[in-house]
Amino acid sequence: MKKPKLVYPTPEMNELFDAVREIQSKEEAVNFFRDLLTMAELTEFANRWQTVKLLVRGESYANIAKKLNVSTATVTRVARWLKKGRGGYAAIASRAFDTRPNPDYHEQPQFKGGKLRGMKNPYRM
């Protein structure tokens, strides 16, 4: 017997997403999600979001797992969805954590063999 193909999003999920869009303040969000989810579910979702934040900041998987007291498998799964998911994590992270490159930042020149690469010896005329 074949498993039925999972549909995403379902009409019920779309109704939930529409309800989330109706949230107008942080206080409403706090109250809505507390009514909707158990403390364990809220903690799990919060840990996933903290994982996204730390991944965006360039933390190692092992450090993230240790800081958040989650498994490296959880960190790996979140990283996979951040990089190869539907773009949801990346879109919101770019707004929440301002992941755009700083236009004023310029890499410092790298020194090779004691000389600036591509420059003549400054001590010779």
What residue ranges do the domains of the chain occupy? Answer: 11-99
CA distance 33 to 42: 8
As a whole number of angstroms, the distance between CA 116 and CA 95 comes to: 38
Q: Which of 4-8, 82-86, 98-102, 121-125 has the lowest mean pLDDT?
A: 121-125
Asked if residues 52 and 59 have their Cβ atoms less than 8 Å apart, the reply is no
Topology classification of domain 11-99: Trp Operon Repressor; Chain A (1.10.1270)
CA separation (Å) from 74 to 21, 54, 56, 59, 64? 27, 13, 15, 14, 10
Residue range 87-100, pLDDT digits in tens: 999 999 999 987 66
**Single pTM value for the model:** 0.73
Q: Give the closest residue to 75 by CA, choosing from 52, 94, 43.
A: 52
pLDDT tens string 37-60: 999 999 999 999 999 999 999 999
